[in-house]
Structure 1
Amino acid sequence: MAPARPLSVEDVLRVNGSRRFAAAMATASPFASLADALLAARRIWLDEVDVNGWLEAFAAHPAIGTTSPSVSKWSKEEQSAALSTTTDSTAQELEEWNARYREKFGFVFMICASGRTAPEVLAELKRRYANRPIVELEAAAQEELKITELRLAKLFSSEPTVSFTTIEGPTIQSDKAAGSSNRTRPPITTHVLDVARGSPASGIEVHLEMWKDVSAPPSFSNKYLNGWATLGSSVTNKDGRSGQVMDIVDNVAPGFYRISFNTGKYAPAGFFPYVSIIFEIKENQTAEHFHVPLLYSPFSFTTYRGS
């Protein structure tokens, strides 16, 4: 875990374009962990930033599908799936609906586009266009919060050898490059945040599995689901962090992994009886660390790759 580090207003403005949000986050820092930063971000965004601050943050985003050179690196990464699946007709339709949306609501269409294809984004734009303005403003604010969480994860995922505010400056050296080969924690870790309550989620059962069927990888259409082998189990503590779910080894085996969370037992009235996250570790990533957290509420969840 990185040591507690202060955030400058400029740091936070890369994450969220609201100056009120940036100032409050900078004042609340340093944060000992990403989890602490995420909890503060949610509280500040929903409780302290007013509508003008929301609109200022929205204005910092390009329209979905924009390919201008001025678009930030993070925006390009977040829209990569949409851009790679955009056809000429889809691009034209997105442009038309973006303009129609802005004319109705007065701000850019906000969506956390990470992993979403152009047709999916367009369908969501059309669906939300029917919303009443007050409903859509709140929906847009929730999407901005998702983007903020993802970008905070990216901000915290770098371990700079210089000051925290120069992440995009001098070359960042990983522990491996610095000559450290012994891990102090397992290669795969997780934690759970209850975003509905704004607190860590304790008491959630966690299982880590690896796909062992070498004849075929897991896929959306794969009907043979008996290829998973359990590596370890744990229960999240009061900080929402799981115990050790696998051995501490220098190099994790490449392949497909699944982390499952017993959310039904944690929140019986919720929509999800359990949540499973499947991810792949490639041959050239075996020395890296994979932190795969769950941001959970009774009716939604999200994840990202942390550090």
Structure 2
Amino acid sequence: MTYDGLGLAGFDALPETAAVESLLACCTSPAWARSLVAGRPYPSVEALCEAADAVLAELDEEEIDRALDGHPRIGARPDTAASAREQAGVAGAADTVRVALAEGNLAYEEKFGHIYLVCATGKSGDELLELLTARLGNDPETERRVMRTELAKINRIRLGRLLGDPA
């Protein structure tokens, strides 16, 4: 079931199971979703987004890995409408960029042990490749922090769509 455009009041009124399900479409960490549902009602969309950021910051690495499981590789065939929207800039990328992204993804995963996650919304294939190349120079601890920041950005965009708030 899709919940896009639900509104904050609609989200707060959902039965617990449906509310968790709606949040799992934003971020596939069950602990994140359950924690946000437990915090209802929220006085504003911003309050929900701030809670989402705070919960994400406290998740252990295993739970972060669950969140990463909900994202395809940059440049791979998107498996959800949200991923397709977010990676729309890659669709028109030159074949050389797509090949370089695929190769970069593999190098990234080998180095860091998880997928290259970036808030791709509004970025071209060239921009995403440039970011990937730069991030390959990070040490694992720095990169894990960067990845968590990118995940928080993606979660905010998806929460905005869920609640019908484009901001």
Same fold (TM over 0.5): yes
**Aligned with 1:33 (options 20, 26, 44):** 44
Give the whole-Å Cα distance in 2 for the aligned partners of 1:106 and 1:144: 16
Which segments of 5 or more consecutive residues in structure 2 lack a partner in the other structure? Answer: 1-6
1:66 aligns with 2:73: no
Which has the larger helix fraction?
2
1:53 equivalent in structure 2? 63
Superposition misfits of 4+ residues, deviation over 3 angstroms: none
How many angstroms apart in 1 are the aligned matches of 2:153 and 2:62? 19
Unpaired runs of 5+ residues, structure 1, are: 158-290, 292-304
Contact between 2:120 and 2:128, CA under 8 Å: does it hold in 1? yes
Q: Aligned match of 1:107 in 110, 114, 121?
A: 114
With a CA cutoff of 8 Å and minimum separation of 6, indicate the structure with the bigger relative contact order: 2
1:10 alignment partner, one of 14, 21, 25? 21
In 2, Cα distance between equivalents of 1:142 and 1:83: 24
Give the fraction of aligned pairs with identical amino acids, expressed as a percent: 28
Give me the TM-score of the superposition, normalised by structure 2: 0.87
- Structure exhibiting the larger radius of gyration computed from Cα positions: 1
- 1:111–1:143 Cα contact (<8 Å) kept: yes
**1:140–1:6: structure 2 CA closer, same or farther, 3 Å change rule?**
farther
The Cα shift of 1:2 comes to 5.0
Equivalent residue runs for 1:1-307 within 5 Å: 2-3=8-9, 5-6=12-13, 8-47=19-58, 49-67=59-77, 71-84=79-92, 86-157=93-164, 305-306=166-167
What is the aligned-residue RMSD (CA, Å)?
A: 1.6
Q: 1:134 to 1:124 in 2, by over 3 A?
A: same
Structure with bigger strand share is 1
Structure 2 residue matching 1:3: 3-state secondary structure: helix
What is the aligned length?
156
What SS class does the counterpart of residue 161 from structure 2 fall into? helix
Separation of aligned partners in 1, 2:124 and 2:134: 15
Please report the TM-score for the alignment, with normalisation by the length of structure 1.
0.49
**What is the identity, as a one-letter code, of the residue corresponding to 1:87?**
A
| CA deviations over 1:122-177 (Å, ceiling 9, x no partner) | 011010011111110110010000000000000000xxxxxxxxxxxxxxxxxxxx
The question of whether the paired residues in 1 share the 8 Å contact of 2:8 and 2:45 is answered with: no
Residue identity opposite 1:120 in structure 2: E
CA distance in 1, matches of 2:89, 2:13: 33
Give the Cα–Cα distance (whole angstroms) in 1 for the partners of residues 71 and 8 of structure 2. Answer: 29
Instruction: For 2:42 and 2:154, locate their aligned partners in 1 and report how far apart those are by CA, in whole Å.
Output: 19
CA distance, structure 1, for counterparts of residue 56 and residue 110 of structure 2: 25
Instruction: Check the 8 A contact 1:3/1:32 in 2, yes or no.
Output: no
Alpha-carbon offset, residue 33 of structure 1: 2.4
| Alpha-carbon separation, structure 2, partners of 1:32 and 1:3 | 9
C-alpha separation in 2, matches of 1:2 and 1:93: 41
